[in-house]
Amino acid sequence: MNEVHSNLNDSVDASLTAWESHWQKTNDTAAFEESTPLHNYLQKHWSFFLKQTISPHNDTKLVDLACGKGTVSELAVSQGKAASTSSLEIHCVDASFSAVQNIAKRLGITAACQADCASLPYQNNSFDLVVSQFGIEYAPIHSSSEFARILKSSGTFAAVIHCKNGAIYNDCYEKRKLFETVLSLNLFEYAQDAFTAGYAVVAGKLPLDAFQRADADFAPVIEQYKQLILSTKSEAKSILIQVLKDIGFMYENIESHSEHDVSAWLASTKLEFINFKDRMSSMVSAAMDEEQVCQLLPPFLEKGFSHVICERLSLDNEPPFAWFVQISNINA
Sign of the CA dihedral 29, 32, 38, 42? negative
How much is the pLDDT for 29?
42
pLDDT: which is higher, 146 or 16: 146
Residue 235 has pLDDT above 80, yes or no: yes
Domain that holds residue 254: 168-284
Mean pLDDT within 174-202: 97
How much is the pLDDT for 80?
87
Same domain, 158 and 206: no
Same domain, 111 and 172: no
What's the pLDDT tens digit per position in 243-266? 999 999 999 999 999 999 999 999
In order of 62, 117, 276, the CA distances from 23 in angstroms are 22, 18, 12
Sign of the CA dihedral 28, 29, 30, 36? negative
Same domain, 120 and 240: no
Chain-wide mean pLDDT for the chain?
90
Question: Using 50, 70 and 90 to split pLDDT, how confident is the model at 286?
Answer: very high
How much is the pLDDT for 214?
97
In our burial notation (b when 16+ CB lie closer than 10 A, e otherwise), range 214-250 reads: bbeebeebbeebeebbeebebebeebbeebeeebeeb
Same domain, 131 and 36: yes
Residue 124 has pLDDT above 80, yes or no: yes
How much is the pLDDT for 57?
77
How much is the pLDDT for 32?
46
pLDDT: which is higher, 300 or 235: 300
Non-local CB neighbours of 307 within 8 Å, separated by 6+ positions = 326, 327, 328, 329, 330
What's the pLDDT tens digit per position in 55-92? 877 889 999 999 998 999 999 999 988 887 768 999 99
The pTM assigned to this predicted structure is 0.86
Same domain, 124 and 48: yes
How much is the pLDDT for 187?
98
Q: What is the CATH number of the domain that holds 62?
A: 3.40.50.150
